[in-house]
Structure 1
């Protein structure tokens, strides 16, 4: 009986911690995907040079070169555009299907910021 009680107590401690670590992993995956998309977009536009307008989106033909999309990550937004002056614009949101946390990619500021959903 004591052994069962000890196992129950340990389970009550371990399971919430495990779920918390699992959620942090999902959130990190979404953040990493957002950072990757931003970095590869900046590289793409840098290679094109200023004076050339362009856009990267989530469609296969217009994705930044090297971007591998994780199917567990939901991405919403139109894409990232660059005008002829070299200024980037656009906002995308990245979230894992098993988490309520999302990350906002702001191309104008060049940032990825955590947003509570």
Structure 2
């Protein structure tokens, strides 16, 4: 059985990541942010963007297969993603005493989580079961 994917739905997290990265670079130039030492900025955006694309791809596959379990699948995947991000944050960032990097990492996580929740919630609200 071949899985169907909605290309415009999968393009949303990529577009969001590029837009957010560009906005971050602009704000970095305007406000002279300190350099990131522990995790490079490109790695953080690539990591969060890849996790979002994977989440959207899995949710899209579940949506076409069984619409009734999309919400539960989203909660499970988000929980796993939160644990993975927490572990990476604990290993690389929380052990250090650099507050800017801690705020940068976890604020970006919250922004991505908010984006994913809004987009998937709107898609579920438009679904006819």
State if a TM-score over 0.5 links the two structures.
Answer: no
Structure (1 or 2) with the greater strand fraction? 1
TM-score of the pair, normalised by structure 2: 0.36
